[in-house]
Structure 1
Amino acid sequence: MNHGPETAFTQARAHLVNRNGGWHLFVALSVEKHWPTHYFTSPLAPTVQERSQALTELNFALTDGAEWLWTEDSEQIDEPSSPVILIAAAPVVSILGGTA
């Protein structure tokens, strides 16, 4: 994605998480108390297009060439029978002064 010189950027990391049957996307910002968050209404994993639209609504975009990296974790640490949490992460930039 090519942005003009009038656009300011702040790098951050977007996270997509499935917990309790629902998906939500948030952008982790170390300087903020409340992170920008989008909740998806479908129980299905959001498509790349849906994730992109959610990021745009939050005033963010994937960095050039970025891909979502997937991993899994457990609800309860060191408990093999614990439900699995699916997590995706990708580097993003804040588009200050861009379109929301």
Structure 2
Amino acid sequence: MAKEYRALLSQGQAGWRLYVMVRGAGVPWPEHGFGPGEQVPTFTERAEALTGLGFVQAPGAEWEWTEFSADPDDPASPVWLLASTWVDSRAEVGA
């Protein structure tokens, strides 16, 4: 059985970035930047980025989206999106 890891997709000033949380591994974790822009990377772009990092989305896993307010006390403040999903190591899946 493959060990599952958590992949996170976040938006920052430099654009969207995807990284995989690998416990016990040194930081930085495997990461892929999508470059500047506000458009959310497509499912295909995310899958290709995961593959490039050596991971695949776990069977049955879905992307979960959460929004965070820059100032929770101000409903007009900017909102940041964070997405996450479970992934497997391609090396472990193929073993």
Whether TM-score is above 0.5 comes out as yes
Q: Please report the RMSD computed on the Cα atoms of aligned residues, expressed in angstroms.
A: 2.2
Unpaired runs of 5+ residues, structure 2, are none
Q: Tell me, in whole angstroms, the C-alpha distance in 2 between the residues paired with 1:24 and 1:82.
A: 22
SS at 1:9 equivalent: coil
What's the secondary structure of 2:49's corresponding residue? helix
Contact map agreement 2:56 2:90 (CA 8 A) in 1: yes
- What TM-score do the two structures reach when normalised by structure 2? 0.81
**C-alpha separation between the residues in 2 aligned to 1:98 and 1:57?**
15
- 1:36-55 equivalent positions in 2, closer than 5 A: 36-41=30-35, 43=37, 44-55=39-50
Deviations 1:53-99 (A, max 9, x none): 000000000111111010111345x4525432100000000112779
Q: Distance in 2 between matches of 1:83 and 1:53?
A: 29
How does the TM-score come out when normalised to structure 1? 0.77
Percent identity between matched residues is: 38
Of 18-27 and 54-63, the range deviating more from structure 2: 18-27
Alignment of 1:41-80 (within 5 A): 41=35, 43=37, 44-75=39-70, 78-80=72-74
* Distance in 2, Cα, partners of 1:98 & 1:64: 11
Gaps of 5+ in 1: 1-7
Richer in helix (by share): 2
> 1:29–1:35: 8 Å Cα contact kept in structure 2?
yes
2:73, 2:30 → 1: CA distance?
31
What SS is found at the alignment partner of 2:3? strand
How do 1:1-100 residues align onto structure 2 when only pairs under 5 Å count?
9-20=2-13, 22-32=15-25, 33-41=27-35, 43=37, 44-75=39-70, 78-80=72-74, 82-96=77-91
User: How many residues are treated as equivalent by the alignment?
Assistant: 91
